[in-house]
Structures are given as C-alpha cells and as structure tokens.
Structure 1
C-alpha cells in the first residue's frame, strides 16, 4: 500500500489486527475515521484508552467489570447456587440477552485444546473448583459446541462429579430456522440425542 501515507498505512494495519477485520474493512474503517470531525476522533480514542484502563476481570467469575465484584456476582437477586460455565465474557453477554438465566457465571477464558497446546491448567478450571461449596446446587456447562468445547465440558464434568454437584450441559442441535442440508454431522447427531417427545 505504498500509495497511502505512513500514518494511514499504520492505522490500517492496526485495524486489520482486530478479529474478523480483513484488509478492505480495515481500510474502510481508517478512511471513515479520517473523515470524522477531530472531536469525534478524540472521543473514540479516549473511549478506547478508558476502557482498556478501567475494565478488568471480576475476582469471582472472571467477567468484564469496572468494579469488583461484577454487577452479576454482586447482585443478591441472582441465584448464587447455580453457576453457568462459559468460555469467554462475550458468552455471558449472549446469555444475558435472552433473559432466561438468573444464576451466576464462571468464565474459563478459553477451552481445552491439545492441538493449540492448551490444557486444563491453562484455563480457569481450578478457580471453578474453588467456588464449589455445599451451597452450589448445579453447574451448567455452556461451552461452545466444538470439539474443544465438548472436551472441556467432559473434563469439567469428571472433575466436579466427585464433589457431589449436579453438572448439566446446555442442549445443542438444530438452530431454529435452519435447513437440514446445511447442518454438519455433529449438529445433526446432537439433534437426535437431544430429541423430545412431541405433545
């Protein structure tokens, strides 16, 4: 990209480092920002710096927060006897949008993946075990429906079973509105495993 000044090339490079941002999208974002009024660009930059400086992980669940504990862990109206285990903080955001779950969370910050060199000690499983007390009635494992997510779910189940805690897995299968022809083998297999009687 020799036709751009160095500052623009650098900004394009930085945007391209973000997940799901290719070089064309990075270029569009850069050119959009260059066309904004200077005060809006400063606001954007300040928001980035402030978020990076003030947002941390909750000391209990590992979710994003500005104060410890996070708003979910600190809420007395939540059911603290049920913990939903997720891979990343973004998964909490997805579950909270549905508004059906009233328990608390535990973020693993990853999944077990021998191919990527990530074992159980590389994610927050020990911290999950430390949270187990006589008050915890159920742990819902809501890891992704991938090979890594399934391996992580099985490992968590094996670790928690001796602690006399009910361990469940979220259902998986065909999403609403999807066509069978586009489903992969694992999704179809899970759909058959989790089938229910029609009443």
Structure 2
C-alpha cells in the first residue's frame, strides 16, 4: 500500500460529476477557504455553495482534507499547464505572466491560511503532501527536469529541491516584510534575482 493509500481511504468512484462541474466545485472550495478559512469550512457549506448534495461530495471525496487538497492540486495544475518555452528563464516568466495581481493576492491569503491550518490539522497536512507535493501536479518538476536536460542547470545543483520552498516563501514573506501582497512585477524581479541565480550559478 502506498503512502497516499494509507493517508486517504479508498472511495467509491460512482459520481457522474463532469470535469467542468468538478472544476466549478474546486473553485467554490477555494473561494470558501479564502472567505472563512479551513477551520470554518464545512462540507455543508460546500454543498450549499455549489448546490450539490453532501452524498455526492462524499462519493467523490472522502472528506474535507482530501477535497481541499484536490482543489489546490487542480488550481496549481491549471496555472503551469503546458508551459514549455525552451528555456528555464522563459518558463518561469511565462508562469508568472499567467497570473494577475488580483489572483496573486487571493493565492497569498489562501497559502497563509493553509499554513496555519496544517499545524492543527494533521489530516490536512497528510492530504496536501500526498496529493500536491508527491505527484507534482503543478508541472514544476517537469520544468526543472527539462532545464537539467538542456544543460541550463546542473543535475547535482543543491538548489533544485528547494525551488518549491523558495517560491512559496515569496508569497508568504512579501506581505510580512513589504506590507503588501506580491504582484507580478515583484515575482518577476524575485525570479530573476533569487530563483534563477540559485539554479544557474
């Protein structure tokens, strides 16, 4: 049995939710997270917001931790998508270019809320680790692997494993240090000044 199977019980996949409907549900979950936080988010609230029965939600997801993790996974995957410009610099710049300042402000608030929640909800932490970090749905590892294959980054570069931490750190630290949410201009400077030099030095 894999770590994911141990952390998240199997569920009966009898739901007829379409991909479009599933995307709507995930968007609603993230909106609720931003509005009320993880602790106050309930499956009842999700059912009401999405006009979906709780029975349907529980057939598709085992509970709140997995639903939140899957929503985060879906959102991150849709951001990176099929980015492949032929260079690491181009890939990162295109990634940032797909974001807008309003979305970045929302994502920053979401990340900060989840960081607080995982300290008191180990089930959420397990779900996030298993469904987001391990399978890499964001495509970030693929971007980095291509950079290594092209010779832009050494295969033994010690900074490779820390890229997710560095990127998340920017979202969390900017409001604390700069008293403002990060915007695209900040992230582009951050990528050029911190992320890329750490990988290509």
TM range (shorter): under 0.3
Task: Tell me the TM-score normalised to structure 1 length.
Answer: 0.26
More strand by proportion, 1 or 2?
1
Task: Tell me the TM-score normalised to structure 2 length.
Answer: 0.26
For the pair shown, the structure with the greater C-alpha radius of gyration is 1
Larger RCO (alpha carbons 8 Å, 6+ apart) = 2
More helix by proportion, 1 or 2?
2
